[in-house]
Amino acid sequence: MSGFFDYFTDPVLRGPTWGTFLMCVASSLVGVILLLKRRCLLSETLSHASYPGIIIGVSIFAFLFPQGYESALIAILIGAFCSSFLGLKAIEWMETRGKVRSDAALCFILAVFFGAGTVAASAMQHTLPSWRSHLQTLLFGQAATMSDIHILLYAILTGLIVSCLCLVFRPLQVVLFDADYAKTSGLSPVWIERVISWLILLVLILGIRSVGIVLMSGMAIAPAIAARQFTDRLKILFCLAALFGGLSGLIGNILSVEGTMALSREGVRLAIPTGPMIILSSAAIALLALLFSPKKGCISCMRRASKFRFRCVSENILKSMWKKGIPVSFRELKGAHPIFFMSLFFCVLRLIREGWVEKKEGRYVLSADGKRKASSIVRVHRLWELYLVSELGISQDKIHPTAEEMEHILTPEIEKILTRLLDDPKVDPHFQPIPERVSL
């Protein structure tokens, strides 16, 4: 197994490592723009649209230079650029002149161009079979054979993208989040859109060599999705996307090399491709972010929702005990709150631990703090009912469910506003006394 730093210094390993790292950083930065513009499918469409241009460009190159395999990169890049550019213009024409919906235009161009590329590749199989097999690797990338020239190429690309983003950051920010304001303030979104389009084309075309035509869009979008779970600020979003993208490139490259070496030692002839491993690594990071990010992660949201439901049940228990005014048994609590037995049990334990409920002779009674807490809950409930009836004109028979929900989320500040607005009322719409305000 290779040491970690060998991936950055070894003559064989440093090309794929640095090349994929820089490529993933560049594509992630552009992916943020695509994500915010809600044009994620554009990267998929343009990467597939490059396929017929690559086939035609390489076919012309092969007839002119039959043995020029090593120099075919120029023909690949030129062909991919021309074909993707044509696809981009076709999309814009369909959306503006043809009045075709964006998603329909993108899917149509993707299918037409990739279909044309597949037909051209099939024809190439009979005329230039060796070249055709060489080009098939571009579908899923061939990052393992990158050299130092690719490091230089992707370093220039990454530097160009970072420089462009720094120069146009403020106008870009306005165009992304408020295009109407950009127009009225004198900013022309047209040239910003052109810069974005050129950056997308550059990234997609140069990225084909690392992760391939089929997977390029995943490399652009997945790090941006992961970064979006952690921040709402554009600068931080770009930085996090670049971090996650670069990390995906490193992890995917290392897993590919180490996995291939491990399988080779066991006598299994199986090479783990670098491009797909990078995409899987990027997808894994995005999935972890979607699950565990502090604010937007599914697990975090479920935990907060569960905590809120637990608090609602606890406050409902306090309120029902306050209304009874006498010690109650667990059976009586279970009858008043038909929830799962263990959930009720843990709620009661929590109330005892927090000092709101006391257990005396096998029955439960509110403590002094518990009485004040329950009184505050009932007060908010009845204030809200009175507000719904007196200020909003809602019928009395329809206000209780809403008040049951609002009593758990109304803050002390809103309680003060309601008290002032209602002129410190003493009874609710049902002529029940409203408890006096207490400090908790």
Question: Looking at residue 69, what is its pLDDT?
Answer: 58
Averaged pLDDT, 328-343: 81
Q: What is the mean pLDDT of residues 293-322?
A: 89
pLDDT category at 220 given cuts 50, 70, 90 is confident
Please give the pLDDT value at position 218: 80
Q: What is the pLDDT of residues 33-53, one digit of tens each?
A: 988 888 888 888 888 888 888
> Where is pLDDT greater, at 208 or 78?
78
pLDDT band at residue 67, thresholds of 50, 70 and 90?
low
Per-residue pLDDT, averaged over 155-166, amounts to: 88
Average pLDDT rounded to a whole number, residues 206-224? 78
Residue 217 to residue 250: CA distance in whole angstroms? 18
The reported pLDDT for the residue numbered 171 is 83
pLDDT reported for residue 2: 58
- Sorted by where each starts, the structural domains of the chain and their CATH numbers stand as 6-296 (1.10.3470.10), 300-366 (1.10.10.10)
What does the DSSP 8-state code read for residue 71? G
Residue 214 — very low, low, confident or very high, per pLDDT cuts 50/70/90? low
Tell me the three-class secondary structure of 312-357, residue by residue: HHHHHHHHHHHHHCCCECHHHHHHHCCCCHHHHHHHHHHHHHCCCE
Residue % of the chain over a pLDDT of 90: 14
What is the pLDDT at residue 136? 65
With 90 as the cut, is the pLDDT of residue 215 above it?
no
Average pLDDT rounded to a whole number, residues 18-28: 88
Tell me the torsion sign for CA atoms 139, 25, 34, 93: negative
- Distance (Å, rounded) from C-alpha 387 to C-alpha 170? 46
CA 21/CA 151 separation, integer angstroms: 9
Q: Is 34 within 8 Å of 42 (Cβ atoms)?
A: yes
Cα–Cα distance measured from residue 52 to residue 43, given in angstroms and rounded to the nearest whole number:
16
Q: How many CA atoms lie within 13 A of 169 on its CB side?
A: 13
Q: What is the predicted pLDDT for the residue at 281?
A: 92
pLDDT score at 138: 67
pLDDT band at 139 (very low <50, low <70, confident <90, very high): low
* pTM for this predicted structure: 0.79
Q: Band of the pLDDT at 168, cuts 50, 70, 90?
A: confident
